Amino acid sequence: MADINETINDRFEDMKILDEMKTSYLNYAMSVIVSRALPDVRDGLKPSQRRILVAMNDLNLGPRGKHRKCAKIVGDTSGNYHPHGDQATYGTLVRLGQHWNMRYTLVDPQGNFGSIDADPPAAMRYTEARFASPAPDMMEDIEKDTVDFVPNYDETRKEPVVLPSKFPNLLVNGASGIAVGMATNIAPHNLNEVCDALLLMIDNPDCTFKDILEVLPGPDFPTGGIICGRKGILDAYVHGRGHLKVRAKHHIEESKRGKISIIFTEIPYMVVKATIVSKIADCVREGTIPEISDVRDESDRKGMRIVVEVRKDADENVVLNKLYRYTPLQNTFAINNVALVNSRPETLNIKQMLKLYIEHRLIVIRRRTRYLLKKARNRAHILEGLILAVSDIDEIIELIKKSPDAPTAKINLMEKPLKLVESETLRRLLPESFVSERHGKEQFLTGPQADAILTMQLQRLTGLEIEKLAKEYGDLTEKIEGYEALLSNKDMQFDVVREDIHEIKGKYGDDRRTNISEEDLTGFDLEDLITEEEVLVMISHQGYMKRMPIDTYRKQARGGRGIIGSSTKEDDFIEHLFTASTHDYLLVFTTGGICYWLKVYNIPAMSRQSKGRNIANLLDLGDDSIASILNVREFDDQRQLLMATRNGIVKKTVLSAYGNPRSNGVKAVRLDEGDWVIGVDVTSGENEIILGTEKGMTIRFHEADARSMGRVSRGVKGISLAKDDAVVGMVIVEEGASLLTACENGYGKRTALEEYRVQSRGGKGIINIKGLDRNGKVIAIKAVQDEDDIMMITAQGMIIRTGLEEVRVIGRSTSGVRMINLKKDDKLVAVERLSLEEEEEAAESAQNGEESSSEAEGSAEPDENAEE
């Protein structure tokens, strides 16, 4: 019993469970990494792919041969080399023949091998396959001891560790796989470009990544598409990892009826076409892309064609950008160049991948040359014996006849001294060194030579056959010298690699399918999804904001009642009105001297009757109200921002000082106690400025009188104000413009700017308008052109739009005319200029249908005191 316990104990070993789990897991992980998931850097194949090709090579399924059932191929692969499930093996075989997955397929399929819509292939009993053209080049010279062989899983046969791979499979077809703790995703490339890069590496091993990029600009996907930007390519080539933005390729078609359609003919790599169509339909159904009226898949055997019809009132460029953003028509391809190098996984840059392939081909060429050299030497050795025997053939025949059996004959042949007989034919055909070394000297045969003589046919004794032996030996001698020279000269080995590369390039090279765009999408901007158009922006006194199409309001005659421009509360009224492009920046200046940034497209688009959304939902203004809003696209050092305060202070600052948007705003000016900002505008640095006050005074001065200051400085005095007076407006003088002055009781006038002489900054100014008892306080001054329209807003939310041809130009020191009929207890609170240039695009889109020249409800009455 004790002996049994000792025997059992000998079979167990005490060890920590943590160590055992760690060891077992590492063994499992390395098995997956090496034996399943990662490709070898030399041939670019994973074990399952390599074994399928070896099994097909065993079956002689060449490109010109017959197709064989895939079930036979899978059976031989599983039975001889790859003892795993037949479905997994069949899936690998199918992928090797799918042209949308492989840039250059290695298997030529027959039957249903699936589709780019992710349709499954037919069962293996229905499909057939054979080698595609590049596959034999992967196998070339495998029988010439070019690669190592190891026993298969049951040690019944040998399988190659790697293929000779005359075809650079890893770079041209790429690879993908998920191992334990790591993954690989190598992009496919164009064969011509890969061959050029290999030749560059051979000729200049110290070439830079920039040199490689000139001949190998980037991946070339089987499905085409467009790679946006080169940063991801450079990262992948230099570091082995990078992210590519790949877009579908498209063009625009317009039908005879004017219907616009976006046609996609190529899609990103490894994206299922059916998924794209389904996702587009989902976006339309969910309202994400409402501009699409229909989507169809019209693909056929001639090529891919996904049709997206755009609604008539939509911008196809905006639809396209939305498709790229919300559907797989734009996809990210993450490159991760992990491959096995000497059975160890490594992340490789492009130079390492090219170099390792070249080194593999050099090893294959050396091993092949050694194999051929050994074979040639063995054959030459046999021929030497045959030539010696033929030289003394009579004695050789007699010796064999007298021998009782073959073994004895072999021994007798090996013991008999032979001499090379002088012969003009032999001397002419054989190398001089061979004849001189053996002529007149005794030679003894070796065992292989004796065997060859015994098996030699009698026909070899004829004169013609003797010449053939001599010629064959002479040719072999030259080959041997060539093999020896090749093995001793590395430059010659590189020449062979070059020849192979040129051969492969000539056989399989084709044009690039994937375009590379210089457009970098790493910072994809939301504004690409927004149609650029001119809009009208309204802000009420209580801070409600909205945008509307600029053609919402029809033109009316001066003095009309207008239409409702906004639904406001009883104690609210429209205070700010301006036009801008949806892609413009809004610089929002508050009365407290703070500057905020806002994109116009972030302002909610609402109907004419809606009151809008409170600006507090868009900007954190605190207790301040808005003084000015400017629409700006670029922040440069040439233009200036000029601001004026209610107390007559002006401050000028370069525009670029406001070019760094911050969510919480920045301080724009330092204000005195009780003062606030009344206006801000952009100037060229050479403009003249007009300030207007509530009591009808104005001053005109050159902006050079106000030096440029820092962003948070106080400024200088622009006008000296009388008691209880305040600045209400600031105007930049324009050539050919006139000055529009509007008062709170609905009166106003236009005056030529020439009537306002230039003064020095800081003076009291001159009279601008009289009759303030009737007119009320001045609420705004504007520089306008004859062809402009103006928009007038009252405290009760009434809006009227009128052309300035209705307001004639009169003298500076006059009382003005009625511009708008006000309801009882209503006041005019704002006037905004609408220039002709700003209206042109809106007028075209409206097709003259939105604007009608209708007469207003009220008519303009002449004013007896229009001029004094």
Average pLDDT over residues 470-489: 90
Which residues touch 564 (CB under 8 Å, ≥6 apart)?
A: 608, 609, 797, 798, 799
> Residue 605 and residue 768: Cα distance in Å, rounded?
39
Amino acid at 530: I
Angle between helices 447-454 and 350-391 (to 10 degrees): 60
> Residue 804 and residue 784: Cα distance in Å, rounded?
8
Residue 854 has pLDDT above 60, yes or no: no
Q: Is residue 677 part of a domain?
A: yes
> Residue 485 and residue 505: Cα distance in Å, rounded?
27
Let me know whether 313 and 367 are in one domain.
no
Please give the pLDDT value at position 569.
Answer: 53
Let me know whether 786 and 687 are in one domain.
yes
> Residue 564 and residue 24: Cα distance in Å, rounded?
79
Distance of alpha carbon 277 from the chain centroid: 21
Extract long-range pairs of 371-380: CB within 8 Å, 24+ residues apart: 371/144, 371/145, 371/146, 372/144, 372/479, 372/483, 373/480, 373/483, 373/484, 373/487, 376/476, 376/479, 376/480, 376/483, 377/480, 378/448, 379/476, 380/473, 380/476, 380/477, 380/480
Let me know whether 634 and 758 are in one domain.
yes
- Which range among 68-77, 469-478, 663-672, 711-720 has the greatest average pLDDT? 68-77
Average pLDDT over residues 600-627: 76
Average pLDDT over residues 592-614: 80
Please give the pLDDT value at position 856.
Answer: 31
Please give the pLDDT value at position 10.
Answer: 65
| Domain edge (last residue) among 135, 167, 199 | 167
Q: What is the DSSP letter of 720?
A: P
Share of the chain above pLDDT 70, in %: 84
Q: What is the SS3 string spanning 208-219?
A: CHHHHHHHCCCC
Backbone dihedral region for residue 9 (phi beyond 0: left; psi -120 to 50: alpha; all else: beta): alpha
Q: What are phi and psi of 102, to 5 degrees?
A: -110, 130
Let me know whether 561 and 450 are in one domain.
no
Worst-scoring range by mean pLDDT, 38-52, 656-670, 740-754, 808-822? 656-670
Domain at 538, CATH number: 2.120.10.90
- Which range among 325-329, 735-739, 847-851 has the greatest average pLDDT? 325-329
Q: What are phi and psi of 396, to 5 degrees?
A: -65, -45
> Residue 644 and residue 593: Cα distance in Å, rounded?
10
List the alpha helices (DSSP H) in 295-349. 316-326
- The C-alpha angle 671, 672, 677, rounded to 5 degrees, equals 45
Q: Is residue 340 part of a domain?
A: no
* Residue 553: band (very low, low, confident or very high) from pLDDT cuts 50, 70, 90: low
- The C-alpha angle 451, 455, 459, rounded to 5 degrees, equals 140
Average pLDDT over residues 373-394: 84
193: nearest Cα among 103, 266, 63, 97: 103
* Residue 841: band (very low, low, confident or very high) from pLDDT cuts 50, 70, 90: very low
Question: H or E element: which one contains 698?
Answer: strand 697-702
Please give the pLDDT value at position 842.
Answer: 38
Let me know whether 465 and 385 are in one domain.
yes
Backbone dihedral region for residue 165 (phi beyond 0: left; psi -120 to 50: alpha; all else: beta): left
Q: Is residue 174 part of a domain?
A: no
Q: Please, what is the average pLDDT of the chain? A: 84
Distance of alpha carbon 209 from the chain centroid: 20
Q: How many domains does the chain have?
A: 4
Q: What is the dihedral of CA 26, 30, 36, 38, to 10 degrees?
A: 130
465: nearest Cα among 452, 455, 456: 456
Please give the pLDDT value at position 736.
Answer: 82
Worst-scoring range by mean pLDDT, 16-25, 199-208, 356-365, 643-652? 16-25
Average pLDDT over residues 406-426: 76
Tokens coding 219: 């991946």
Tokens coding 675: 């003062």
Average pLDDT over residues 82-88: 91
> Residue 415 and residue 445: Cα distance in Å, rounded?
8
335: nearest Cα among 216, 247, 231, 224: 231
Residue 559 has pLDDT above 60, yes or no: no
Tell me how crowded residue 93 is: count the other CB atoms within 10 A of its CB: 27
Cβ atoms 827, 743 nearer than 8 A: no
Worst-scoring range by mean pLDDT, 272-281, 343-352, 436-445, 569-578? 569-578
Strands (DSSP E) contained in 398-491 are 418-419, 442-443
Please give the pLDDT value at position 557.
Answer: 46
Worst-scoring range by mean pLDDT, 127-131, 456-460, 635-639? 456-460
pLDDT digits (tens, 9 = 90+) for 658-703: 888 776 788 888 898 889 898 898 888 888 999 999 988 999 999 9
* Residue 3: band (very low, low, confident or very high) from pLDDT cuts 50, 70, 90: low
Average pLDDT over residues 200-215: 94
Let me know whether 673 and 595 are in one domain.
yes
Domain extent, residue 254, equals 249-328
Cβ atoms 690, 736 nearer than 8 A: no
Q: What is the SS3 string spanning 642-672?
A: EEEECCCEEEEEEHHHHCCCCCCCEECCCCC
Residue 575 has pLDDT above 90, yes or no: no
pLDDT digits (tens, 9 = 90+) for 158-199: 999 999 999 999 999 999 988 777 889 999 999 999 999 999
Residue 225 has pLDDT above 90, yes or no: yes
Cβ atoms 823, 796 nearer than 8 A: yes
Let me know whether 479 and 560 are in one domain.
no
Average pLDDT over residues 639-654: 91
The total number of residues written for the chain in this structure: 868
Extract long-range pairs of 453-461: CB within 8 Å, 24+ residues apart: 453/385, 453/386, 453/389, 453/396, 453/413, 454/400, 454/406, 454/409, 454/410, 454/413, 456/386, 456/389, 460/386, 460/390, 461/390, 461/393
* Residue 437: band (very low, low, confident or very high) from pLDDT cuts 50, 70, 90: low
> Residue 350 and residue 557: Cα distance in Å, rounded?
72
Evaluate if pTM is beyond 0.75: no
Is pLDDT larger for residue 518 or for residue 750?
A: 750
Average pLDDT over residues 405-414: 87
Please give the pLDDT value at position 792.
Answer: 84
pLDDT digits (tens, 9 = 90+) for 312-331: 878 888 889 889 989 999 99
> Residue 843 and residue 833: Cα distance in Å, rounded?
17
Please give the pLDDT value at position 860.
Answer: 34
Let me know whether 478 and 431 are in one domain.
yes
Q: Which active-site residues does the annotation give?
A: 126
Average pLDDT over residues 247-258: 90
* Residue 853: band (very low, low, confident or very high) from pLDDT cuts 50, 70, 90: very low
Q: Give the C-alpha distances (Å, rounded to integers) separating 542 from 407, 623, 777, 796, 830.
A: 120, 11, 22, 13, 15
Average pLDDT over residues 744-755: 90
> Residue 92 and residue 72: Cα distance in Å, rounded?
15
Please give the pLDDT value at position 613.
Answer: 77
| Domain edge (last residue) among 167, 200, 225 | 167
Please give the pLDDT value at position 215.
Answer: 95
SS3 of 681, please?
strand
Average pLDDT over residues 458-464: 63
Question: H or E element: which one contains 481?
Answer: helix 463-488
* Residue 352: band (very low, low, confident or very high) from pLDDT cuts 50, 70, 90: very high
- Which range among 16-20, 105-109, 814-818 has the greatest average pLDDT? 105-109
Describe the strand order of the beta sheet including 68-69 as a list of residue ranges: 68-69, 128-131, 107-110
Q: Is residue 61 part of a domain?
A: yes
* Residue 554: band (very low, low, confident or very high) from pLDDT cuts 50, 70, 90: very low
Domain at 323, CATH number: 3.30.1360.40
Which residues touch 867 (CB under 8 Å, ≥6 apart)?
A: 810, 811, 814
Residue 60, judged by CB atoms within 10 A of its CB (0-12, 13-18, 19+), counts as exposed
Domain at 472, CATH number: 1.10.268.10
Let me know whether 711 and 804 are in one domain.
yes
Distance of alpha carbon 496 from the chain centroid: 38
> Residue 605 and residue 72: Cα distance in Å, rounded?
66
Please give the pLDDT value at position 400.
Answer: 85
Please give the pLDDT value at position 316.
Answer: 86
Dihedral (CA of 775, 779, 783, 788) sign = negative
Describe the strand order of the beta sheet including 688-693 as a list of residue ranges: 727-732, 688-693, 697-702, 766-767
Please give the pLDDT value at position 46.
Answer: 93
Let me know whether 393 and 434 are in one domain.
yes
Q: Is residue 701 part of a domain?
A: yes
Tokens coding 196: 């050029």
* Residue 401: band (very low, low, confident or very high) from pLDDT cuts 50, 70, 90: confident
Which residues touch 371 (CB under 8 Å, ≥6 apart)?
A: 144, 145, 146
> Residue 38 and residue 48: Cα distance in Å, rounded?
10
Measured between its terminal Cα atoms, the distance across the chain in Å is 137
Cβ atoms 807, 735 nearer than 8 A: no
Q: Is residue 669 part of a domain?
A: yes
Let me know whether 632 and 577 are in one domain.
yes
Please give the pLDDT value at position 14.
Answer: 79
pLDDT digits (tens, 9 = 90+) for 111-128: 999 999 989 999 999 999
Question: H or E element: which one contains 138?
Answer: helix 134-139
> Residue 828 and residue 793: Cα distance in Å, rounded?
6
Residue 522 has pLDDT above 80, yes or no: no
Please give the pLDDT value at position 864.
Answer: 35
- Which range among 45-59, 640-654, 735-749 has the greatest average pLDDT? 45-59
Average pLDDT over residues 8-19: 73
Please give the pLDDT value at position 424.
Answer: 60
> Residue 292 and residue 262: Cα distance in Å, rounded?
10
> Residue 793 and residue 335: Cα distance in Å, rounded?
59
Cβ atoms 264, 304 nearer than 8 A: yes
Domain at 130, CATH number: 3.90.199.10
Let me know whether 488 and 538 are in one domain.
no
SS3 of 814, please?
coil
Q: Is residue 349 part of a domain?
A: no
Q: Is residue 351 part of a domain?
A: no
| Domain edge (last residue) among 101, 133, 167 | 167
